[in-house]
Chains A and B, each alone.
Chain A
Amino acid sequence: DGGITQSPKYLFRKEGQNVTLSCEQNLNHDAMYWYRQDPGQGLRLIYYSQIVNDFQKGDIAEGYSVSREKKESFPLTVTSAQKNPTAFYLCASRPTGGYNEQFFGPGTRLTVL
């Protein structure tokens, strides 16, 4: 079945460690996105990529980094520079061309201890 996978569902890390969250899609979508969600809040855009080897900062990119070496994959690294990394992280993808819907993955809940 086509879709977006994020792994793992729950992730625990010690403060000061970098951690990479996985996002893979087999929908053949060009555009991919990373969002962060805090309790009781809406989603905020971290980074997005319209095409392989290209990505743009969203509204809250500080302390995060991404890469887009393959169309199917858009990993997000939460660095030690991110002040409050504990959150629910959501990856999405979208076919380019017009106002198509974004398809979201199941999310990864990151807890930094």
Chain B
Amino acid sequence: DAKTTQPNSMESNEEEPVHLPCNHSTISGTDYIHWYRQLPSQGPEYVIHGLTSNVNNRMASLAIAEDRKSSTLILHRATLRDAAVYYCILSRLYGGATNKLIFGTGTLLAVQP
């Protein structure tokens, strides 16, 4: 399974943009890039995913490098509620139907007021 590399922790100030990097140099052509986040003692929450093109949704933006070996999750204006562990995950279909998420240790984002 392809792996991802993320910084252990990052800090941001409230109301400022945050760029969370992820390296995935062994990504294959069929791997999707997913981002989930997890608050303490809660289940992970889906943030965004993409394959080749940059993606935007109401929560964040995902910028994918042209060679797909890295990506960046962008939170446009950090709030205190965005403080969480952010996981960058590669996912592919297994058995034709079920995608398998391989979680790393993620990046702990601290947001200062």
Inter-subunit contact A101/B100 (CB<8 Å):
no
Inter-subunit contact B97/A96 (CB<8 Å):
yes
The chain A residue sitting closest to B49, CB to CB, is A99
The chain A residue sitting closest to B8, CB to CB, is A40
**Which residues of chain A from 70 to 106 have a CB within 8 Å of any chain B CB?**
88, 90, 92, 94, 96-97, 99-106
Q: Is A109 an interface residue (CB 8 A)?
A: yes
Residue from the set A40, A41, A102, A103 with the largest chain B CB neighbour count within 10 Å: A102
Contact with B along A50-61 (1 / 0, CB 8 A): 100000101000
A37–B49 CA distance with the chains assembled, in angstroms: 22
Inter-subunit contact A107/B41 (CB<8 Å):
yes
Inter-subunit contact B87/A42 (CB<8 Å):
yes
Q: With A40-B105, A43-B103 known to touch, is A104 a contact of B98 (CB < 8 Å)?
A: no
**Which residues of chain A from 8 to 55 have a CB within 8 Å of any chain B CB?**
30-31, 35, 40-45, 48, 50
Would you give the shortest CB distance from B37 to chain A, in whole angstroms? 11
B95: chain A residues within 8 A (beta carbon)? 50, 56
Inter-subunit contact B98/A90 (CB<8 Å):
no
Inter-subunit contact B42/A106 (CB<8 Å):
yes
Inter-subunit contact B45/A42 (CB<8 Å):
no
Q: Is B13 an interface residue (CB 8 A)?
A: no
One of B42, B97, B105 near A107 (C-beta < 8 A): B42
A88: chain B residues within 8 A (beta carbon)? 41
Residue from the set B49, B87, B99, B100 with the largest chain A CB neighbour count within 10 Å: B99
Interface residues of A (CB under 8 A from B): 4, 30-31, 35, 40-45, 48, 50, 56, 58, 88, 90, 92, 94, 96-97, 99-107, 109
Interface residues of B (CB under 8 A from A): 32, 34, 41-46, 49, 87, 91, 93, 95, 97-106
Q: Can you name 5 A-B residue pairings with CB atoms under 8 Å?
A: A48-B100, A50-B97, A94-B98, A99-B91, A107-B43
